[in-house]
Structure 1
Amino acid sequence: MQGMDSGDGAEMTRVEGDSARDAGTHPTVFAPGDDRVTAQELRSFSRPQALTRDRASEGLSDALIMMVDDEMLNIEMTQAFLVEAGYRRFVHTDQPQNAIGMMRKQQPAVLLLDLSMPGVSGLDILELMRSHPVLRHVPVIVLTGSTDPQVKLQALSLGAMDFLSKPVDPSELGLRIRNTLAASAYREYLSSHDPLTALPNKQRYRAAAAEVIAATVAAGATGALLHVGVDALGRINDALGRVVGDQLLQRVAKRLASCVQTESGGELSSAEHDPTLYRFDGDEFAIVVPFMEAGSAAAFISKLLEDAAVSFRRPSAPEVFVTCSIGVSVFPVDGTEPDLLIRNAGLALRHAKQGGTHRYEFFSPRFNEQAQSRLDFSAELRHAIGRDEIDLLYDPFVELEGDRVIGAQGVLRWRHASGRVVLGDALQELAARSEMDVALTEWAFEQMGRHVKNWRAAGLTPVPVSMTASLASMLPSEIATLVTSALGSGLEPRDITLVLDNVRGVESLPARELAAIAGLRTRGVRVAVAHLGSGTSLSHLRALACDEVRIDPSFLEGLDSDPALQAMLLGVGDLARRLRLKCVACGIDSAAQLAVLKAQGWDRGQGRLFGSPVSGLAFAGKWLTKGKPRQIPLEG
């Protein structure tokens, strides 16, 4: 992994519970001075020409002040006060019926409004402003000689912000206007900036993207929208608390902002615009690139991936590495509509994350088809259990010495009404995306318990059943709760082998989560870790106590003809045995692969060579019937 700060762990302070609400006083997991970034620093990375158009960054004396009063003398006196106070822009009317039209043509920063006027009163103007989508946000200071509290309450209910009694004191008028403008500017700033990182927010991003896309397309050039997502931020939040997650986002924002700032006026800039950074949503940032060629695109994306990778260390805990992934949509190639391009960049980012971490993907039209298909299937998966479309099947689990069935691997299958079948890992991934993973895993344990009870009731001796649960979307404590519930419904610990998949990041989980799995082992439930050599590494085995490891099926592809692969597999098997772990070879498809594994002394195996997944009844009839040997005939 590239881009790690070697000094990040030099001076780390203890992370306390996330009950502390004030992130400014909460201890940080990052080195002092590198975990926070001030609003001023991050604003400096925003597009200057955009900020100068906001009242938040204008001088208050440049603000447009409008006055509506039927007495021209009041207007002239007020204007004299304002000019003396340094306000240079002033418009007025003594015809209240013209006020709304004037404001539509030129929106004021603040309106000074008399209430008691013939024909159209100040209350009438306030009511008309309130119904207008833009004018309703104009701050209004009421100038009135009325002392009736009901009139003031009515004006306040219609949106007035402040009151001044006539005759107006010039000093008080200047102070009220200055305070109103400052409050309005701050409110506008908050509405257009992310409070955590101080970066321009999603609304500013959409507006800027529309402007840059139009300019780039009109110039006949090519630009891009980049969505940068922090990998596994949810896991950081769950394990260490949202305070640490927020610190991480602030730090990533600072690094991305610095990277984008260095491109100002460079190869990625157009004549009118520079690359700009925004906080898009949740764990995502967005970058608008006005001009992009193939070479500059690759270099910039690589730099972003490298610079956005951070690490930190907690006392008495392994170092935690956090990376980002990037999705890219190119305009006009992938479209010219801002919303479409933003959606396409988001799809590309999702696709990049599905392929792993620390990756990038350019948008492809097939992503739309896949997303629509996933959306349709995700919606229907919620009803699949009730429609009896889900099955729990069993693969034979074989002791390689003697080819004897000693267990079963539970495999979930969804028979969709269209005829499409979603099986195993693909169904689990779909369930995770649909937030159905807990429900589906719970259902699988319930079905397994029913099958095992039926086997026992028929006088058969059940074999241990392996059930897979993914840590990608469930915490160990949640999985432990499901297993405990299954044990409470009549299953015995020796009936279950819990197979943990997607264990990336397990080393950063709090001790209480790891203790939940250890508690299951203490009760007699076997724990296995899937995909060793692919999604699972030695650091994961060090953090997570288990009884057996299952080798990723990719290690068996071409095994019979690849000496290097055979040597690697021999080393993995030897390591597992030295760790006193049972070692399972998954994906055995041929007799040649089986011969190599037997020669290397592998314990157990699973794969199509031993048969296809079958129902609980069929599995019992084939392998558990009394008096029938569990010797397995190999399929061709």
Structure 2
Amino acid sequence: MSAPQTSAPLAPSEPVHPSQPTLSDVTIMMVDDEPMMTDVAQAYLEDAGYTRFVAVHEPLQAMETARAQRPGLILLDLMMPELNGFDLLRLIRLDERLRYTPVIVLTAASDPASKLRALELGATEFLSKPVDASELKIRVRNSLAFKVYQDRLANDDPLTGLPNRRVFVEQLKAGLVRARYSHGTLALLHLNLDRFRQINDTLGHGTGDLLLVAVAERLRQTTRSTHSLLGQRLGDAPFLARLGGDEFALLMPDIPSPEAASRVARQVLDALSRSFHVDGQDVYLTPSIGISIFPDDGADDASLLRTAGVAMQHVKASGRNGVEFYSEKINTVSVERLLLETQLRGAIERGELVLHYQPKVDLRTGHIVGAEALLRWQHPTLGLVAPGRFIPIAEECGLIVEIGEWVIQRACAQLAQWRAEHRLAVRVAVNVARHSVVSGTLLDTTRDALQRHRVPARQLILELTESMLMDRVETTAAKLHALRALGVELSIDDFGTGYSSMSYLKQFPVQELKIDRSFVKGTPDDRTDTAIVRALVVLGHSLGMRVVAEGVETEEQRVAMQTLRCDCYQGFLCSPALPAADFIQKVREVNGQPARA
């Protein structure tokens, strides 16, 4: 039994992008029990520029050879002993790896029944022997052109043109085989674009797509330079892919050390820190990058993808825009975070979310005239969980809008209860998440809560940040005017820490401006902070806004705010945020009587 004859076979160590073959890349496999026929076909195709061939003269060896060589096209004779071409066609189409390989049938059996049967079994083309050289070249060219298109659909990300997740996993598996054989080290970088959902929501999905294309091109340029950076061989080129959404991955085979992966990751950070000019505007973004190393962080493709993803999520949880290697410590934190996310999903139904209320004090009278509702999670085993620990999780997993709706409903229910039971009519402010504004649900949620609990609209204040106001100014202004038409008040939280433009600020129907605690903290001793607070008070009053100082902790700060003509303050000097019942007690203690909004 003769072995298959090969001409310039594919080297298994060379990662080839499957969707961009050239004539020299394509392996053509010829299956015919007559060697003279394969020699003639090969001569014709060599004349057309093809260079890689595998000839199989024993039909029983055909499937094993095809699985090993993964040819780009098969030339198949129908009439062969032991195993005919019809049976081989059936086996090829049943094999997951060969199912879509073009098969051109070359046979002397030119009767219509044989031709129809071959086509029904999946033959791509049908040529009669003796084969015409020109026709063979044309049929091969057309079949390969269609395969290129088919491969691109199956292997390429249609937006960026990068290999997709399936192809990346194949390359990763192949890289692991080589790394095990050579006892080498392999690195996987998992990259996620920070706050990309916000960019999509703000600028639109069309602009988001253009940005992804620009990111992909910059990553291509960056990874090309890693050859000189690492001094790697050509066959060990980094392999870049888009895993989906705003996630990319970079495979670095045979790296000299983990530090080399870190250097490349830093190079990527630097490249993506530069602005992207997209759709007529400059857009800035940052990536979070997690790195896993073979063999330390995983022995197979699934493990390495998981550990790199865990490291990437840890970067996000730690402030974004950074690089992190996987470690067991990170894994423990990730498991805890995942558990927290799972438990958070049912927290509303289980009644675990609660609102605490921080008093807002009128600086002229000293009376409590309102409160800011602050969210807390009464966890059954962890106790009272601060929002800084679970709100970022809610934003990332898409729960923030639902939680925001609950907060507004609960605040209105509490206002109704205070009015009915204690004749207490204060204003309560709730913090609004960016996603609630962008999603368009805020207006309906607010209207429903006010009507359901029969609360006067003027008792509810919605707090927004400066950066939220600056997103899609005209659209945001229209939404805020609609909210204002309900009768609720609007407040700008942490004013002075964002990037408000005065020309934009006057477009918004805002009734309250809250000075960030970072400016209040230095008063009255810090002359700069005092000057800033004075300027912000003048600005707020000139625009017809009530001005509230946040974070007042000392009597000296309270006096300073009063002297600077702030209207109200909130902070630990009066009280931290309190449960609803304790807030009522605090109002009675400070006011001596029920408060009026």
Does TM, normalized by the shorter one, top 0.5? yes
In the TM superposition, what are the counterparts of 1:122-521 in structure 2 within 5 Å?
122-144=85-107, 145=109, 147=111, 155-156=118-119, 158-206=121-169, 227-261=190-224, 263=225, 265-272=227-234, 273=236, 277-287=240-250, 290=255, 292=259, 300=267, 303-307=270-274, 309-311=275-277, 321-329=283-291, 331=293, 335=297, 342-343=305-306, 345-347=308-310, 349-350=312-313, 352=315, 359-363=321-325, 365=327, 366-458=329-421, 460-472=423-435, 474-475=437-438, 477-489=440-452, 490-501=454-465, 503-504=466-467, 506-509=469-472, 511-521=474-484
Specify the SS of the correspondent of 1:129: helix
Specify the SS of the correspondent of 1:395: strand
In structure 1, distance between residues paired with 2:179 and 2:379: 45
Q: CA deviation at 1:326?
A: 4.0
Contact 2:262 2:323 in 1 (8 A): no
- Cα deviation per residue 1:534-584 (whole Å; 9 max; x = unaligned)? 356457746644221223334444656544434443333333333332222
In structure 2, distance between residues paired with 1:51 and 1:521: 64
Q: CA deviation at 1:438?
A: 2.0
Contact 1:222 1:293 in 2 (8 A): no
User: What RMSD over aligned residues (CA atoms) do the two structures have, in Å?
Assistant: 4.1
Specify the SS of the correspondent of 1:609: coil
CA spacing shift, 1:509–1:50, aligned 2, 3 Å? farther
**Structure 1 range deviating more: 205-214 or 603-612:** 205-214
Contact 1:328 1:349 in 2 (8 A): yes
In structure 2, distance between residues paired with 1:454 and 1:106: 75
Contact 1:113 1:122 in 2 (8 A): yes
Q: CA deviation at 1:445?
A: 2.3
- Output the amino acid matched with 1:488: Q
Which residue in the other structure is 1:601 paired with?
565
In structure 1, distance between residues paired with 2:371 and 2:25: 77
Q: CA deviation at 1:218?
A: 10
TM-score (norm 2): 0.81
- Cα deviation per residue 1:154-197 (whole Å; 9 max; x = unaligned)? 65565432333455443222211121123223433454433322
- Cα deviation per residue 1:234-286 (whole Å; 9 max; x = unaligned)? 3333344322222222233334444444x355334435555665434322444
Specify the SS of the correspondent of 2:70: coil
In structure 2, distance between residues paired with 1:178 and 1:424: 62
Q: CA deviation at 1:463?
A: 1.1
Q: CA deviation at 1:517?
A: 1.0
In structure 1, distance between residues paired with 2:260 and 2:439: 46
CA spacing shift, 1:264–1:449, aligned 2, 3 Å? closer
Contact 1:202 1:281 in 2 (8 A): yes
Q: CA deviation at 1:460?
A: 0.9
- Give identity over the alignment, percent: 32
- Output the amino acid matched with 2:397: S
1:531 aligns with 2:497: no
Q: With a CA cutoff of 8 Å and minimum separation of 6, indicate the structure with the bigger relative contact order.
A: 1
Q: CA deviation at 1:99?
A: 1.6
Contact 1:141 1:160 in 2 (8 A): yes
Question: Unmatched 5+ residue regions in structure 1?
Answer: 1-48, 632-636
Q: CA deviation at 1:528?
A: 0.9
Which residue in the other structure is 2:547 paired with?
583
CA spacing shift, 1:439–1:184, aligned 2, 3 Å? same
CA spacing shift, 1:80–1:370, aligned 2, 3 Å? closer
Contact 2:511 2:545 in 1 (8 A): yes
Contact 1:497 1:526 in 2 (8 A): yes
Question: Unmatched 5+ residue regions in structure 2?
Answer: 1-11
CA spacing shift, 1:92–1:435, aligned 2, 3 Å? same
- Equivalent residues, number: 575
CA spacing shift, 1:173–1:380, aligned 2, 3 Å? same
- Output the amino acid matched with 2:557: Q
Q: 2:537 aligns with which of 561, 567, 573?
A: 573
CA spacing shift, 1:532–1:57, aligned 2, 3 Å? same
